[in-house]
A and B are shown apart, each in its own frame.
Chain A
Amino acid sequence: MTRMRPTVARTALTAALTGAAVLTGAGTASAETEVAEPTTFTSAFTAMATPDMVVNADGVATPGTAGASGTFTYRINSDLEIICYDISVRGITPPYESPAKTATHIHEAAPGQSGPPRIAFPNPEDDGSGTLVSNGCLEGPFTTGVAPEGTDTGEGFTLAEIEAGPSAFFTDTHTAASPAGAVRGQLTAIPVGGIETGAGATADDSSSAALPAVAGLGVLVAAGAVVLRRRATAGA
């Protein structure tokens, strides 16, 4: 966790600077902020990022770092405009390099195409095992620090756009050795939350009036135990 602090601090600083800019009327966008993980999510996405998927700004295949691979998993709450990131990359060597404020992004573009970054994430750092990781949650609105035509490429972007068409987005990270991208992968949707693979999973919520109807002495005893457990948990 301590490794994350510099990044968090940087994000906070960026936010502060952007805020100052707003105050002085020099800009309109406010940057994302690091937030705690929300209790629920509306969607999740993962990408298998590999060097062979990298293309440069002109859309020309430009292989990234040989032998590297990364898993980029995102959980989104589009109601709260929060995206939690869980990034793990192996086989790349910092320093990172990008004109954006970080070098780890979600871009908007189809496979084999180039496209603008929409969100910039804290760069993965070595977790001590040789794997580079980055975890946390960001709340929009988002800015990337890149504004080729005067407007930040994150401005106006919302997480609902990813939910509407994840295949139109890819994720990557850029290093000095592979500035076009060390690894890249297209987003694919995955389920979010626990799996309801038990009796009653398809039933509507609660109404403990249903309890006696389940019948069976054993069940009632078991239910009693559950109530006790829940009480204990609630008290904890």
Chain B
Amino acid sequence: MRPGPAPLRRASLLAMAGAAALLVSCAAQGSGPGASPSPPSSAGSAPTAGADRDPAPPPAPAVVDPASVPVPVAVSVPALGLVEELVDLGIAADGTAEVPTDFDRVGWFTGGGRPGARGPTVLMGHVDSTAGPAVFYDLRELEPGNLVEVTSADGTAARYAVSDTQQVAKGEFPTAAVFGATATDVLRLITCIGEFDQGARSYTDNLVVTAERLP
């Protein structure tokens, strides 16, 4: 959690209380998402689809059109023991992001970037259901440097390293910073965090984890 500007700091403070409440209400159910810790063993295999191999000075390598590369189909986060296939997510009628209907599934925003192309590739998952922890419950545990691997439909695996974790108020959601196009291959993982507004049945904040593509 970065200190950030004042509003974020306030959000973080509120989040402490919210997180505590969450633990009380959610931890009772115990069992987290699937406990299969072994990711597809492609950690060492370098991706082949990258256009990021330009030794010349030009600061901006060619921007690759996401439509020109295969779609992502699975994600693994070894540090969290998480291995999941991806479901497709679009935009709801009210303009907001679709989220997985199944609390145990991770989805990707199909209108964004893709591994091997310009970013951002955006993955979304629930922090909890009404019964207990959901697939991205542990997302807050990620630390800079943690590995995230996304496998595409052609079997290639793109490796990313966590670079940043931000807590943002939903009421001031930074759409441009999270979903705005990026020239580089960037991955974002999003879930909920903060205070749970029982009246609105919604968390006040989002957790946005950013990971940069590894060569």
Q: Which residues of A contact B (CB under 8 A)?
A: 39, 41-44, 46-48, 50, 66-69, 71, 73, 75, 86, 88, 90-91, 185, 188-203, 205-206, 208, 210-211, 214, 216, 218-219, 221-223, 225-226, 229-230, 233
Contact = CB atoms under 8 A, between A and B. Distances in A.
A219 B205 CA distance: 19
B75 to A, nearest CB: 15
B24 A208 contact: no
A201 B14 contact: no
A134 B103 CA distance: 39
Contact of B200 (A88, A90, A205, A233): A205
Q: Which 9 A-B pairs have the closest CB atoms?
A: A194-B170, A200-B201, A222-B21, A191-B97, A198-B192, A218-B24, A48-B181, A73-B176, A86-B176
A216 B181 contact: no
Where chain A touches its partner, the secondary structure class is: mixed
Contacts of A192: 95-96, 173, 175
Contacts of B168: 194
Q: How large is the interface on B (under 10, 10 to 19, 20 to 34, 35 or more residues)?
A: 35 or more
13 contacts: A41-B175, A42-B95, A66-B58, A73-B175, A73-B176, A90-B59, A193-B175, A195-B170, A203-B201, A218-B25, A223-B21, A226-B17, A226-B198
Which of A86, A196, A200 has most B Cβ within 10 Å?
A196
A48 to B, nearest CB: 4
A201 B111 CA distance: 22
Contacts of B125: 197
Contacts of B198: 200, 208, 210-211, 214, 223, 226
B198 to A, nearest CB: 5
A80 B111 CA distance: 25
B190 interface: yes
Contacts of A191: 91-92, 95-98, 109, 175, 179
A226 B197 contact: yes
Interface in B153-174: 168-171, 173
Given A86-B180, A190-B111, A229-B195, A218 B130 contact: no
Contacts of A75: 175-176
Contacts of B183: 48, 50, 69, 71
B24 A221 contact: yes
B108 interface: no
Contact of A189 (B59, B91, B173, B205): B91
Given A201-B201, A211-B198, A190 B175 contact: yes
B32 interface: no
A199 B195 CA distance: 12
Given A190-B179, A225-B17, A195 B190 contact: yes
A222 B176 contact: no
Contact of A194 (B14, B25, B206): B206
A52 B190 CA distance: 32
B200 A206 contact: yes
Contacts of A226: 17-18, 21, 195-198
Contact of A46 (B26, B129, B181, B201): B181
Contact of A195 (B21, B101, B206): B206
Nearest to B193: A198
Contact of B28 (A44, A206, A216, A229): A216
Contact of B25 (A41, A185, A222, A230): A222
